[in-house]
């Protein structure tokens, strides 16, 4: 059995959904199909999920949202018309959407979750109706009825362990199962969504639960690229990479996969195959537990902006028991998460997402660190970009750090900080945001362009 997930761009129109039908029917092992809400049909289009969020916010403010509701229903009606479906499915979608919009608003964040989950839920109903109209034995599966139970955390729901036993029973059902992604139900029967792009999480959870042989994730690219194609032209495709490599890459700006999505599949040892809905015969990128290290030390380079560094210096810091714990306790008191902690014997830097540091929070953190830890120096540096150089091969390769540092130096990029991951699968470089693109290009040229030239020679 395979679990197959299709993203929003793969389901944005009737034409795309026809491709999905052909893909599913091409392999009888594709028994469970996880679907997203309709995505953009063109760059200037709006995703249905975004329209639903706007609709929910208007409802909470007591404003009329008739125009937004009509826009959402029109998207589904347009798709149904392209597929030659009767009005019956749209009548059902209208009824179900209105019922949610008129639902309990006592917990605003949960209400927004319930409304935005309608994108996936209603699309699953439409797609199941289309499959049936084409003579395919198919059925819509509601996550509550299937037993997908989650924590009551709006926008960040976590799967409850008991869900896996419930969902395993899906193996016993006949035909193709169309399952909406992105959300589950609390034990009290209320809808909560995973973090954004959480349909990937649903696919991973179901793969784990039913013990699938493969989790296929269809999107709009042939494969995962070794670097952001918006920064480097025609980058090399990655054919195989490990879960750890993908986790590092997705965390640091790779948009192909949600960075939490692989955890359930990883724990069950299920391989993941990223493929293109518009070119399904392309092999795509396989994500596995282990791979042969045949393509050099580095498999990919990722980058992301919006970081800052809290730098602290104190003489004999290394002799002070509990210094690091006290710093992290202060951050915890303000609800701040961190990314990296490069350190020396007398200094330490805390790297974090700078959008967490509102002016009052920043002042409070700096004041407490100064007063409670008596540091000699403290400063915050904003607008940093983090570059992640990732590859299992780095653990067995000498000189990778030197090559990366030399490439950045030759490109005139100043390195603000370096941090080697303890797993030795990744290496982090901090640079100014203004130098991000130049730094990424320099690293790509060093580890990929030069390798291609060598291979051709």
**Using an 8 Å Cβ cutoff, are 303 and 385 in contact?**
yes
**Using an 8 Å Cβ cutoff, are 201 and 187 in contact?**
no
- Reported as half-sphere exposure (CB side, CA atoms, 13 A), residue 293 has a value of 13
Q: How many CB atoms lie within 10 A of CB 359?
A: 7
434 labelled binding-site residue: no
Select from 240, 388, 385 the least CA-distant residue to 306.
385
The CA distance from 276 to 225, in Å, is 13
248 labelled binding-site residue: no
5 labelled binding-site residue: yes
Which class for 187: exposed (0-12), middle (13-18), buried (19 or more C-beta within 10 A)?
A: exposed
The CA distance from 243 to 269, in Å, is 10
Query: In sequence order, what are the residues at sequence separation of 6 or more whose Cβ sits closer than 8 angstroms to the Cβ of residue 191?
Result: 110, 113, 114, 117, 183, 184, 185
8 labelled binding-site residue: yes
**DSSP string of 157-222, one letter each residue:** --B-TTHHHHHHGGGGS-SEEEEE-SEEE-TTS-EEE-STTTHHHHHHHHHHHTT-SEEEEEESSS
Question: β-pairing, 214-219 with 2-6?
Answer: parallel
259 labelled binding-site residue: no
253 labelled binding-site residue: no
Select from 427, 431, 421 the least CA-distant residue to 400.
427
Q: CA 20 → CA 6, 31, 88, 99, 217, distances in Å?
A: 8, 13, 22, 29, 12
**Using an 8 Å Cβ cutoff, are 407 and 446 in contact?**
yes
219 labelled binding-site residue: yes
147 labelled binding-site residue: no
- Binding annotation for ATP: 5-8, 219-220
- Binding annotation for substrate: 49, 120
- Binding annotation: 5-8, 49, 120, 219-220
């Amino acid at each position: 059995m395979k679990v197959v997930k299709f993203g929003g761009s793969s389901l944005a129109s009737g034409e795309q959904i026809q491709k999905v039908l052909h893909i599913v029917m091409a392999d009888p092992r594709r028994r469970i199909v996880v679907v997203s809400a309709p995505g953009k049909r063109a760059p200037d289009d709006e995703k249905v999920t975004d329209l639903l969020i706007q609709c929910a916010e208007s409802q909470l403010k007591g404003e009329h949202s008739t125009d937004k509701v009509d826009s959402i229903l029109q998207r589904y009606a347009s798709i149904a018309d392209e597929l030659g479906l009767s009005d019956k499915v749209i009548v059902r979608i209208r009824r179900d959407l209105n019922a949610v919009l008129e639902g309990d608003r006592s917990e605003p964040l949960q209400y927004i979750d319930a409304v935005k989950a309608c994108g996936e839920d209603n699309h699953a109903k439409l797609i199941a109706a289309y499959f049936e109209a084409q003579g395919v034995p198919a059925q819509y599966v509601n996550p509550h009825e299937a037993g997908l139970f989650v924590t009551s955390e709006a926008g960040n729901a976590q799967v409850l362990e008991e869900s896996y036993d419930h969902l395993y029973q899906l193996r016993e059902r006949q035909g193709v199962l169309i399952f909406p992604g992105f959300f589950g139900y609390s034990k009290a029967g209320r809808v909560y969504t995973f973090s954004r792009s959480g349909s990937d999480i649903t696919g991973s959870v179901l793969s784990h639960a039913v013990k699938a042989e493969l989790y296929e994730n269809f999107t709009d690219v042939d494969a995962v690229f070794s670097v952001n194609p918006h920064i480097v032209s025609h980058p090399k495709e990655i054919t195989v990479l490990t879960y750890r490599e993908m986790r590092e890459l997705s965390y640091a700006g790779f948009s192909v996969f949600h960075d939490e999505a692989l955890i359930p599949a990883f724990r069950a040892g299920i391989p993941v195959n990223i493929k293109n809905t518009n070119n399904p015969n392309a092999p795509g990128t396989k994500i596995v537990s282990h791979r042969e290290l045949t393509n050099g030390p580095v498999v990919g380079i990722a980058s992301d902006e919006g970081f800052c560094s809290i730098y602290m210096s104190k003489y004999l810091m290394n002799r002070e028991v509990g210094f690091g714990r006290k710093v992290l306790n202060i951050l915890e008191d303000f609800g701040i998460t961190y990314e990296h902690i490069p350190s020396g014997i007398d200094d330490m830097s805390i790297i974090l997402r700078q959008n967490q540091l509102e002016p009052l929070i920043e002042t409070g953190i700096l004041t407490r660190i100064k007063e409670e830890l008596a540091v000699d120096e403290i400063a915050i540096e904003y607008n940093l970009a983090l570059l992640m150089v990732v590859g299992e091969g780095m653990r067995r390769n000498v000189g990778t750090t030197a090559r990366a540092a030399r490439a950045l130096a030759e490109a005139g990029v100043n390195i603000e900080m370096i941090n080697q991951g303890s797993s030795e699968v990744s290496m982090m470089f901090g640079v100014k945001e203004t130098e991000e693109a130049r730094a990424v290009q320099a690293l790509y040229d060093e580890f990929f362009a030069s390798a291609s030239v060598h291979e051709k020679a």
